[in-house]
């Protein structure tokens, strides 16, 4: 059934893009360019959310209890797809942080730090099972608060969240095998700060290994996506996790800063922007605190002439339009070997025109809402810079909903290495396409970035994969696939993408002292 045009035939108003009109134009019925809207539209298939119990206000989770912030201040969390307020979130200040760190220290000294690993493991298994039981509800909440599609929160985020708890539950009583011949001891209290792109998954990446190793935690979610973390807190209560083992404090940068500066924190783990990462490096220098950073990326996805092109184009689509491009390891630079450039561009063009942008709770939606107005403005600014510096933009003419924050799937051609869009993280559904002639040139271009988080290689030849991969300065390289995650596999970057690994046996290392 074709969608009724009257309901959604609105053009997007992109706040930052006044001077250059690259916004999707209204579609005329005769316009066949990049407009498969009618042909490809599906009947609405919205995920039910009427059973979701949102609280009017979410408090802080400290010492096993939900408590009001000392300041009495709250801020709103909105649904970026509708701009509706979902709930009020407590704003923690330095006094609340102090209470949370004290609760974590008490729990560390009195129970968790000395509990045998096999007992800690039981709690983690219980948490993992409760997450699985409530995974649909958590996926819907994740989509409502953050804007990501239900397809992803349901099929990617939540299964991985549970898998991380299961995986690290398994290590809790086997640390002597993780580090043969050495004794692994916990560090103490870990302060953990996470971003908004994978709210629950980042919480799991941080909490599960820290707890498995016997540390206690103070977690700070991102200010636009705190709700699911507070539902996770309920799961910790339900699992009977001893009070204070996990504390969750909400708020923005100031709250995070207070956590980093607290004198009784032993370790800071951070995922987010490189600029904040640099601030944290300065803040912990000269203190007893350990630090791990997982920062941005500007990954190169390299397509060789011998690659299976259709498969590669699908991988590129998944690599950059997946999760609205809100992925630090997104394949945001595409390097295409010259001989296949026209074919790849033609296929990409056709394919982005079929991507469905809109209601993230609809099961058929491919690209949901941009997480916040601020992020949308940042995307628009970078796209403007690309146009000003002379690159050409190809953009889907998908009809965008009137309310909410949206950006249509887009890519740039004619990009040179000095363009900002080739160097900076756009963190949106925008790809920069460049070409290369030889494998050496591909490697040089791929490595020509201050980042070093991830990369992708597409070729028919296994030997070429190994040759290229060994020369790429990236923590993760996918070959003939992209954006695949598994709790057993370490993740992390080189250079300005940070240091320390999360996931796998490596992911235990940042949370132990080895003797």
Interface positions with ligand NAD (CB under 6 A): 193-197, 220, 222-223, 252-253, 256-257, 260, 271-273, 276, 279, 294-296, 328, 375, 378, 425, 427
Alpha carbons 13 and 83: distance in angstroms, whole number: 14
Taken in order 127, 132, 133, 136, is the CA torsion positive or negative?
Answer: positive
Specify the stretch interacting with Mn ion by CB under 5 A; choose among 37-45, 77-85, 309-317, 474-482.
77-85
Element housing 255 (H / E): helix 253-261
Q: Which is nearer to ligand NAD, 195 or 319 (CB)?
A: 195
Please answer whether residues 406 and 370 qualify as being in contact, where contact means their C-beta atoms are separated by less than 8 angstroms: yes
145 binds, among ligand NAD, Mn ion, none (CB under 5 to 8 A by kind): Mn ion
Binding at 91: pick from ligand NAD, Mn ion, none (beta carbon under 5-8 Å per type): none
Contacts for 391 with CB less than 8 Å, ≥ 6 apart: 412, 413, 414, 415, 416, 419, 421, 432
Nearer to Mn ion, 145 or 266 (CB): 145
Q: Which is nearer to ligand NAD, 239 or 318 (CB)?
A: 318
Nearer to ligand NAD, 151 or 378 (CB): 378
Nearer to ligand NAD, 158 or 201 (CB): 201
324 binds Mn ion (CB under 5 A): no
Q: Which is nearer to ligand NAD, 402 or 484 (CB)?
A: 484
For residue 192, the minimal CB distance to Mn ion (Å) is 20
Separation between Cα atoms, residue 514 and residue 291, nearest integer Å: 16
How far does the chain reach from its first CA to its final CA, in angstroms? 66
Long-range CB contacts (within 8 A, 24+) of 13-19: 14/376, 14/380, 14/407, 15/373, 15/376, 15/377, 15/380, 16/377, 16/380, 16/381, 16/384, 17/380, 17/383, 17/384, 19/384
Least distance (Å) between residue 280 CB and ligand NAD: 6
Q: Least distance from C-beta 453 to ligand NAD, angstroms? A: 8
> CA dihedral defined by 319, 153, 377, 34, rounded to 10 degrees?
60
Nearer to ligand NAD, 169 or 295 (CB): 295
Of all residues in the shown chain, the one whose CB is closest to ligand NAD is: 256
Q: Of the candidates 56, 129, 169, which has an alpha carbon nearest to the alpha carbon of residue 508?
A: 169
| Residue 223 sits in the site that holds Mn ion (CB under 5 A) | no
For Mn ion, the binding residue among 77, 271, 301, 359 (CB under 5 A) is: 77
Alpha-carbon distance of 405 to 374, in angstroms, equals 10
Query: Annotated catalytic sites, by residue?
Result: 294, 328
By a kind-dependent CB cut-off of 5 to 8 A, residue 77 interacts, out of Mn ion, ligand NAD, none, with: Mn ion
Rounded-to-integer distance, Cα 153 and Cα 161, Å: 10
What is the size of the binding site for Mn ion (CB under 5 A)?
A: 3
Q: Which does 253 bind (CB under 5 to 8 A by kind): ligand NAD, Mn ion, none?
A: ligand NAD
Residue 234: φ, ψ to 5°: -60, -35
Smallest distance from the beta carbon of 272 to ligand NAD, in angstroms? 3
Backbone angles phi, psi at 295, to 5 degrees: -110, -150
Told to check if 197 binds Mn ion by CB under 5 A, we report no
Residues paired with residue 412 on neighbouring β-strands, in sequence order: 393, 432
Residue 222 site contact among ligand NAD, Mn ion, none (CB < 5 to 8 Å, cut-off depends on kind) = ligand NAD
Query: What is the x/- site pattern for Mn ion, positions 142-181, by CB under 5 A?
Result: ---x------------------------------------
Name residues contacting Mn ion, limited to 224-263 (CB under 5 A): 224
Q: How far apart are CA 193 and CA 287, in angstroms?
A: 18
Binding site for Mn ion (CB under 5 A): 77, 145, 224
């Amino acid at each position: 059934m074709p969608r009724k045009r009257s309901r959604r035939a609105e053009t997007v108003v992109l706040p930052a893009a006044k001077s250059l009109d690259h916004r999707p134009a209204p579609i005329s019925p005769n316009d066949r360019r990049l407009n498969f809207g009618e042909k490809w539209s599906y009947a609405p298939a919205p995920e039910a959310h009427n059973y979701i119990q949102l609280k009017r206000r979410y408090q802080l989770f400290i010492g096993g209890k939900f408590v009001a912030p000392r300041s009495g201040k709250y801020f709103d969390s909105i649904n970026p797809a509708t701009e509706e307020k979902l709930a009020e979130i407590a704003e923690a200040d330095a006094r609340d942080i102090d209470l949370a760190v004290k609760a974590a220290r008490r729990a560390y000294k009195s129970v968790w730090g000395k509990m045998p690993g096999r007992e800690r493991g039981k709690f983690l298994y219980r948490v993992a099972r409760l997450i699985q039981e409530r995974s649909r509800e958590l996926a819907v909440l994740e989509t409502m608060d953050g804007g990501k599609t239900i397809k992803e929160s349901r099929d990617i985020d939540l299964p991985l969240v549970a898998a991380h708890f299961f995986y690290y539950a398994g290590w809790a009583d086997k640390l002597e095998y993780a580090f043969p011949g050495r004794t692994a001891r916990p560090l103490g209290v870990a302060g953990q700060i996470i971003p908004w792109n994978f709210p629950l998954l980042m919480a799991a990446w941080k909490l599960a290994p820290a707890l498995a190793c016997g540390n206690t935690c103070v977690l700070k979610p991102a200010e636009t996506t705190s709700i699911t973390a507070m539902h996770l807190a309920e799961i910790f209560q339900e699992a009977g996790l001893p009070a204070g083992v996990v504390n969750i404090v909400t708020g923005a940068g100031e709250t995070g800063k207070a956590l980093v500066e607290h004198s009784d924190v032993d370790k800071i783990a951070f995922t987010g922007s490189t600029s904040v990462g640099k601030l944290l490096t300065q803040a912990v220098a000269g203190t007893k605190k350990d630090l791990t950073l997982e920062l941005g990326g500007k990954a190169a996805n390299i397509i060789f002439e011998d690659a299976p092109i259709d498969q590669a184009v699908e991988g590129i689509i998944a690599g950059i339009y997946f999760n609205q491009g809100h992925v630090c390891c997104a394949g945001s630079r595409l390097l295409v070997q010259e001989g296949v450039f026209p074919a790849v561009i033609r296929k990409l063009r056709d394919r982005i025109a079929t991507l469905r942008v809109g209601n993230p709770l609809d099961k058929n939606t491919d690209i949901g809402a941009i997480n916040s107005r601020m992020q949308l403005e940042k995307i628009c600014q970078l796209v403007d810079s690309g146009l000003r510096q002379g690159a050409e933009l190809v953009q889907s003419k998908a009809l965008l909903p009137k309310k909410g924050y949206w950006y249509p799937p887009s890519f740039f051609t004619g990009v040179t290495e000095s363009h900002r869009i080739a160097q900076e993280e756009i963190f949106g559904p925008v790809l920069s396409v460049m070409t290369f002639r030889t494998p050496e040139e591909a490697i040089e271009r791929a490595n020509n970035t201050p980042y070093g988080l991830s990369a992708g290689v597409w070729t028919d030849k296994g030997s070429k994969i190994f040759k290229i991969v060994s020369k790429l300065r990236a923590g993760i390289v996918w070959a003939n696939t992209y954006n695949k995650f598994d709790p057993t596999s370490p993740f992390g970057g080189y250079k300005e993408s940070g240091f320390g690994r999360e996931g796998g046996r490596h992911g235990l290392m940042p949370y132990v002292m080895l003797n």
